[in-house]
Structure 1
Amino acid sequence: MASIDTAPKYAKQPIDRNDLIQKFAALAGLVLLVIAFSLANGAFHTMSNAVTIALQTSTIAFIGLGATLTIITAGIDLSLGSVLALAGVVSALSAQVGIPVPIAMLIGVLTGAVCGLFNGLVVTRLKLPPFIATLGMMMIARGVALQITGARPVSGLPESFGTLGGGSLFRIVEMAPNGFPKVIFPGIPYPVILMAILAVAVAVMLRKTSFGRHLYAIGSNEEAARLSGVKVDRVKTGAYILSGAMAGIAGIVLMSRLVTGQPNEGVAYELDAIAAAVIGGTSLAGGVGTISGTIIGAFIIGILRNGLNMNGVSFFIQMIIIGLVIIATVWIDQLRNRK
């Protein structure tokens, strides 16, 4: 009877004033970055650059969605970048041997989900800390990706393999007088459309389903959730499966953009994903987080990288700046948790 009596307490998540402040602060920071880079370089606010930013940000957003789910449970997934690479090369190898591209891409996503299942079982069955479990998977997935490809790119893929990553909706091109095609409107890239669909789907899942509410309950107080009838191990495992599947989606989209399978792709992408989630208000202590905040955080990182590139800032300085942003954001999160 305990599950019947106590379940309603998780029916709605209370709106925390500090969480709202952090999310709007992130949104304000995003707007300020756009203004600053637009003033610094006139080419920044062009349509083509906006499309480029959205396309580059989509990869961070895909794995950021998965990172958000695991962090809400007070866990973490450090294997996202390596799983991205493994899923991408498995999909590319499948297409290379003649498997239809849609099925090959589905195999890639399932590969990511299987890696997530492994993470979830290690965390829930072997009772290892998520940091250690996913750190191990980070090494395993990268090693498998390099082993099955011989550490070489997977090439010779069918032309249709590049449609998902390189295609766009409403693209308008006309022939210029000189005989070369002229892009009138670059269109909306398919990865950006997919990003929007997945963001809405995961946000609805978090707020409108019992699985989503249980994720928050576990992150807030795992023992209380268990006593309330929540199947903690099953829900946690589900979060890691979804996280792995999101990394798989990111992998097939990224490899589709490159039209090759690159086993060395995705290095340190998990840090961008975790940073995007935390910048958007997801607490590393668990129990707090929103998909809209993660998307804002992903665009902050994407715009920061793009703007610094356009203004000639070296890659090494970019690493320093983004590292400082991550440290500052986590520090703010810690201050919020103490309060």
Structure 2
Amino acid sequence: MTLPASNERLSDLCRLARDVIRLEAEAVAALEDRIGPEFDRACELLLNCPGRIVVTGMGKSGIIGKKIAATLASTGSPALFLHPAEGSHGDLGMLTRHDVLLALSNSGETAEILAILPLIKRMQVPTVAMTGRASSTLARRSDVHLDVFVAREACPHNLAPTASTTAALAMGDALAMALLQARGFTPEDFALSHPGGALGRRLLLQVADLMHSGSRLPVVNADTTLRQAVYEISSKGLGMTAVLEADGSLAGVFTDGDLRRALDRGADVLELPIRTLMHANPQVIGPEALAAEALARMEQFRINGLLVVDDGRLVGALNMHDLLRAGVV
């Protein structure tokens, strides 16, 4: 049977949690003064790597290494994770002479990494080490050493990897972001490697992918009566209709909101020509614009739809519901 925790015990737990967060924050903050020539050399090696960045680490360092490899790969630096123990049993075949090894070990003495290091050196693969001991074997035998030393772990017993893994993760993020900047990696590049996510949809989907065109596009002539325009709006279901001149040029737009304002006049307006009620010079967008830009335009002007114009000619229309269905919003 589990006894309910006393208020005093809960207070002690909260105090411990605050200490953990403070210690880990201090460990990360201490890294800032260590960013210098060695970090520059590491970036140079990784930037000039014609192959991939192969990240390795054992235990908790390995888990952090997997995250660093994933971050590198998704931000323009091809990377993969190599388990050092499996490396001695065939997986070292993942590594080529064109790669760079990024090895994580807080002690710098991880046996599984040191076991494969001579073979890596024989292949002449450059090695960047990330350790908490500059005098360690791994640090001394690597081409570049990144110091992620922490004064103590956040664990009350100073045993469980906590502050040290947080520091290694932060240094890995610093490397990835420095490489991203140096490569000129753009949000559009990021979206290409994340097509299934919300960001990918926002940065890859174009207006042309979502717009209504052809027979689905609501269009009336400028001399059409309001009665006929209402029918067009209702049948196409976009809450608006484009209004064209006789030569096909865009004259304006008429929306559900315009209809409510017209009916508020109190007179019989159903037989009035739509040109007397429409909104001239409507907001438009090009078919190659990003759907996210269409969303920003709608939010900026507080409207629910946009007409799509290409080279001065009406080619489509879309509304907020189209963006919602596509997951852009």
Larger radius of gyration: 2
| Pair in the same fold by TM > 0.5 | no
Q: What is the TM-score of this pair, normalised by structure 2? A: 0.24
Whose relative contact order is higher, 1 or 2, with alpha carbons under 8 Å and at least 6 apart?
Answer: 1
Instruction: Provide TM-score, normalisation by structure 1.
Output: 0.23
